[in-house]
Amino acid sequence: MASHRGVIWLRKLGNKDYIIISLALLLLIIILTTFDSSSPPIQSTTPNPPLGKLSLLRNAKSLGAVCLDGSPPGYHFRKGFGSGSRNWLLHIEGGGWCNSIKSCSLRQLTALGSSNFMEHEVPFSGILSEDALQNPDFFNWNKVKIRYCDGASLSGNAESEFHNGTKLFFRGRVIWKAIIDEIMSKGLGTSKQALLSGCSAGGLATLIHCDDFREILPKNVDVKCLADASFFLDESDISGNYTMRSFYRDVVHLQCFFPQEILKNTKTPIFLVNPAYDFWQIQNILSPDASDLYQSWQHCKRNIKNCNPNQLDILHGFRSSLLKAVNEFLNNKDGGVFINSCFIHCQTFMASTWHSPNSPRVNNKTIAEAVGDWYFNRKAVKEIDCPYPCNPTCHNMDFS
């Protein structure tokens, strides 16, 4: 009877209804089947954070600076005030990558590949907040949220847009330059201090463009970069395969994307914020579904509290690999590090994890306090947490 009513309901749908349902199903497929660095569902502690309106890039098509589908890229801007009126904070949105014609074509029907699907207003919270209690060091700065719609951390610059009969534009590097040029005209060019930041794929874009950002601005501007949840490890998964290496190789082949050794070759001061138990890396690098044939990791990678002793040993080994990978960077006198032992991903753009009474702490310091101490040279910051489950302040995600 229920199936009969369903058939009658479907027959009543018009073409527009079918399009809406198809798009919704397509979006669900993208979320479930592609590498996606979407932000964790933690609520902001500010009831009504200010909103930033979407600005689409002027002359985008004539510049060749377009999203995957050819639409103009965009950004959200809120003007600074008071002592921060000549300081600028730019934050690059995250959202995974596409590594094939098929996955990039699917992204064209989402905000991660087309400005046609981008929200017209987004909340500015965490590091983008204008609340001095939530964002003590950067609250009154000019702030820009750069939308991410090229699928390769703003790094591609392929000349031909036709691929296997499909029209795709891989213009991330051109998007980056064009958006920065437009923001320069809004006041970035006369700034006193500037911080480029980003989360996940946006954090990787921050690392890629950090030195370029430094070169664009006058020499007298204090320029630094903050990469959140962007230190993706080249580690084998539970079956011995190098899933992330293979995935990156496909992105490189598709869009001329070269993430290797970026940190070692960057001269501009960088701050790394990273959880030692990054749930995205655990779910997609350490124990991807394709390598978990008997689904023995399903409960563990959805909630770290469900991990058995053997799995925890493997997770601790993953943490050790992270610490080994950043060991050389720890000797960089201009660099900063905040590695907590939380089961989470991005932490800088949400009040609850950036700076609030209940934020994660290492040595009784929030991420915002650590970043502020580093940026303003108040003290050296190399904060590394003890292994899980030692930190009771962590916001550990639960996907079960």
46 has which bridge partners? none
The token duo for 279 is: 């749930």
From 155, 200, 230, 287, active-site residue = 200
Q: How far apart are the first and last CA of the chain?
A: 32
Using DSSP, state whether 194 is helix, strand or coil: strand
Going by their DSSP bridges, the two strands 382-384 and 222-228 should be labelled as unpaired
Active site annotation includes 209: no
Q: Which of 332, 326, 92, 320 is nearest to 195 (CA)?
A: 92
Active site annotation includes 278: yes
Residue 85 burial (CB count, 10 A) = 15
Contacts of 194 (CB under 8 A, 6+ apart): 87, 88, 89, 90, 188, 213, 217, 221, 222, 223, 224
d(C-alpha 129, C-alpha 139), whole Å: 6
The token duo for 386 is: 């003890």
Using DSSP, state whether 367 is helix, strand or coil: helix
Q: Between the CA atoms of 39, 41, 43 and 44, what dihedral angle is there, to the nearest 10 degrees?
A: 0
From 228, 278, 292, 385, active-site residue = 278
Assess contact for 352 and 395: CB atoms under 8 A. Answer: yes
From 76, 345, 355, 395, active-site residue = 345
Q: Which of 201, 193, 196, 200 is nearest to 172 (CA)?
A: 201
Assess contact for 350 and 127: CB atoms under 8 A. Answer: no
Assess contact for 115 and 67: CB atoms under 8 A. Answer: yes
d(C-alpha 344, C-alpha 357), whole Å: 18
The token duo for 211 is: 């030195």
Active site annotation includes 200: yes
Quickly list H helices, 336-380: 351-354, 367-375
Q: Which amino acid is at 390?
A: C
Which of the residues are catalytic? 200, 278, 345
